[in-house]
Structure 1
Amino acid sequence: MGLPRAVVFGEALTDLVQGTPGQWQGYPGGAPWNVARALSRLGVSCAFAGSVSMDSLGDEIVAQSQAAGLDRRFIQRVDRTPLVAIVPSSRPPQYFFAGEADLFFDPQLMPEGWIDQAQLCHFSCISLARQPLAGRLVNIAQQAKAAGKRISFDPNWRNLMDSHYREQTFPTMTALADMIKLSDEDLRHIYPGLSEQQAMDELRALNPHAQILFTRGEHGMILHTPDSQLEQPAIAVNVADTVGAGDACMAGWLAAQLLGISDLRARLRFSAACASISCRHAGAHAPALTDVHSLLQLLDRNDSR
C-alpha cells in the first residue's frame, strides 16, 4: 500500500452538543479530521495524522476514518482522556474543550518515507494553539516546506487561541503556507478593529505569494491571488445546518487542484459545491465526488436553459 498524497495534521475530537436542556448528542469531528475525511471521499489518497483516545470515542473516530478511506497508519492511539468539545449552545455559540489525547501525537511514529510521497500538508484549528502539539506541528510544517511540499493553513479561530498564537504561531504558519483559507469571522478575531481590507493587507504583508481563499458564508467567497481577485457566489441548496461547511470548502479547494482542475474559477466552483453539499446534511458531512459532480452537472443544465 502506497503512502498518501495529502496528509492532514491536527485534532480529531467528539462534539458533545446540547439540544434541548439536558439532552446531549455526540458527533465525531474536529476541523482537520473533517478536511481529511472530505479529501478522501473526493478521491484524494489522504491520511489524518493525529492521536485519539483508546476508549469508545476514539474507536468511533477510527471507525469513521476507515469508512472514509483514510490511511489508518497515521492515526495514533494513546491511553489518555479523549478530546471533547462541549457545546452547551449552538445559537449563540458557546463551547469549551476538555481532554488531552490529541496532545500526545508523536511525529517520530509516522510511517517512514511519508514526506517523500506527500504532495500536500494541511494544518488548522486548535491543534496549533495547544502545546506541546502546536510546536510539533509547526516544526513538521517547516520540514515539509523545506522538502518542497505544498502547505495549506486554515486558522479556524477558536476562543482558546491566545496572544502566543496571535503573535507567533499564526504569523509563522501564514508565512509558510502556499494556500490560506479563512472566514470573515476568522479575520475579525485575528485582526480586531481593522476593516476587512486593512486586515487582508496585514495578511498579505505576512505572505505576498499565497493564494488566500476568503469565505463569507451565504455571500460566497473571494480568491485573492498575488495579482487578481476572483469571486464565487454560494450555491443555493436546502440547508440542514452549516456545521463543517468551511471544512468541506477547504477540502474541495485542495482536492480540485490534486484532481487536476487547473482553472481557478473551476476550482472555486468545485469548492463551493462541496460546501453546499455539506450544508444539506446535519453535522460535519464529508461530500463525495459523485455528489459534487451531480450538483455541478445540475447547475450546468440549469445555466444552459
Structure 2
Amino acid sequence: MILCCGEALIDMIPTASTDGSAAFSPHSGGSVFNTAIALGRLGADVGFLSGVSTDKFGQQLCKDLTASNVNTDHLIRSDRLTTLAMVHLTNGSATYSFYDENSAGRMIGPDDLPAIPDSIQALYFGGISLAAEPAADTYAALLKRESGQRLVMLDPNIRPDFISDERRFRARLNGMMALSDIVKTSDEDLAWLEPSADTIVSQARAILAKGPSLVIVTQGAQGATAIMQDGHFTVPAPTTNVVDTVGAGDTFNAGFLAHLDEIKRLSPKSFATSTLAETKSALAFGAQVAAVTVSRAGANPPWREELN
C-alpha cells in the first residue's frame, strides 16, 4: 500500500449563481488528498493519513475518499473545523487563500500518529501540510521515523503566502528532503527553493545533493525532467486542451507512484535498482494522467479505464 500523508481540505471553486453573480462551490481537495484520490482511481492500493474533521465538510472528505477506493483507516478525526481554500483562477492558473487556523488537519501532533503496518511500502508527503505547524512538525517526525524502512516521495508544493516563518520552513523541508528517496517539484517551486542556481538542472542538483536519489521537475507543457547522480532526461507532456491546472502536479505524482507500484519498484531496495527505462516510463505515465486532469475543470483525476 501507498500511504499519502498530508492535508485534506475544501476547495471553494469560483462559479456563477443562478442570477449570474459570483459564487463559490465546495469541492473536496488538498494537494495530498488529490494524490490519494488519483491513486485510488488508478487502481493502486492506497491509504490516507491526515487530520480530518467530524463536521459536514469532513464527512464529505471521507465520503469522497471511499468513493475513489482510498483506505481511511489512518485518518485522525476530531471536532475541529475543516480547512477552507478559496481558489482564484486567472487564465486557468490557480492561486489560493487559506482559512486554516486551529483546523482538524493543522492541529495534529506526534502523539496522534497511528502505527504504520508492514503492508505499507511507500509514504508520500507534500502540500501545505509541510508548512502549517504543528502538523508540519508531526509529518516531519513521521518521515524521520519511517525513512529507510519504506520508499518516501516528497513534493514541497510551495505556497509562499502560507509560510509564516521561512527560515523554519526551509530548515524543516531540507531535513525532510535529506531523508526522502524522491523529491518532485514544479519549475516555479524549484526556483523558490534554490534561487541561487541559474538553470533547472543546477537547481535540481542542489536538491539532489541534500540526499534524495531522484529529483523530478514538472514544467507544464514542456514536460517533466528527471535528474539523477549520473545524468538527466526529459519526458514530453502530451498535447491537450488545458481548462485549468488545478491538481495537475498532484495527479502527476499519483501516476508516477502507481507505475512504480505496477512494476514492483515500490520499496527503497527495489527502487534503488530501477532502470533508466523504468524511470522514463513512470514519468511518462505521470504526464499522461496529469494531461487528463488539466483537460477538465478542477482536480478531477481520471479513472484507469479513461486512459488509452
Q: In which range does the TM-score fall when normalised by the shorter chain?
A: 0.7 to 0.9
TM-score, normalized by length of structure 2?
0.86
State percent identity of aligned pairs: 29
| Letter aligned with residue 233 of structure 1 | P
* Aligned-partner Cα distance in 1 for 2:193–2:61: 30
Counterpart in 2 of 1:301? none
How many angstroms does 1:89 deviate by?
Answer: 4.8
Q: Structure 2 unaligned segments of length 5 or more: list them.
A: 265-273
* Aligned-partner Cα distance in 1 for 2:73–2:303: 22
Contact 1:13–1:84, Cα closer than 8 Å, also in 2: yes
Give the SS at the match of 2:7. Answer: coil
Contact 1:128–1:165, Cα closer than 8 Å, also in 2: no
* Aligned-partner Cα distance in 1 for 2:12–2:78: 21
- 1:10 matched to 2:6? The reply is yes
How many angstroms does 1:291 deviate by?
Answer: 2.2
Q: Structure 1 unaligned segments of length 5 or more: list them.
A: 295-305
* Aligned-partner Cα distance in 2 for 1:88–1:282: 13
Counterpart in 2 of 1:150? 151
Extract structure 1 runs of 4+ deviating beyond 6 A. none
* Aligned-partner Cα distance in 2 for 1:200–1:185: 12
How many angstroms does 1:104 deviate by?
Answer: 3.2
Counterpart in 2 of 1:132? 134
How many angstroms does 1:192 deviate by?
Answer: 2.9
Contact 2:183–2:215, Cα closer than 8 Å, also in 1: yes
TM-score, normalized by length of structure 1?
0.87
Counterpart in 2 of 1:200? 204
Contact 2:107–2:133, Cα closer than 8 Å, also in 1: no
Contact 1:221–1:231, Cα closer than 8 Å, also in 2: yes
How many angstroms does 1:6 deviate by?
Answer: 0.8
**What is the aligned residue count?**
286
| Letter aligned with residue 84 of structure 1 | L
Counterpart in 1 of 2:269? none
Report which of the two has the higher share of helix.
1
Give the SS at the match of 1:139. Answer: helix
C-alpha RMSD over aligned residues: 2.0
* Aligned-partner Cα distance in 1 for 2:209–2:233: 20
* Aligned-partner Cα distance in 1 for 2:242–2:89: 19
**Residue of structure 2 aligned with 1:280, choices 285, 295, 298:** 295
| Letter aligned with residue 209 of structure 2 | A
Written as runs of structure 1 = structure 2, the 5 A alignment for 1:221-240 is: 221-240=224-243
Written as runs of structure 1 = structure 2, the 5 A alignment for 1:103-252 is: 103-105=106-108, 108=111, 112=115, 114-146=116-148, 148-159=149-160, 160-161=162-163, 162-196=165-199, 197-207=201-211, 209-252=212-255
Q: Evaluate the alpha carbon distance shift between residue 281 and residue 89 of structure 1 in structure 2; reply closer, same or farther with a 3 A threshold.
A: closer
Q: Evaluate the alpha carbon distance shift between residue 175 and residue 111 of structure 1 in structure 2; reply closer, same or farther with a 3 A threshold.
A: closer
* Aligned-partner Cα distance in 2 for 1:242–1:122: 21
Q: Evaluate the alpha carbon distance shift between residue 237 and residue 167 of structure 1 in structure 2; reply closer, same or farther with a 3 A threshold.
A: closer
**Residue of structure 2 aligned with 1:264, choices 279, 282, 294:** 279
* Aligned-partner Cα distance in 2 for 1:88–1:40: 27
Give the SS at the match of 2:118. Answer: helix
Contact 2:290–2:301, Cα closer than 8 Å, also in 1: no
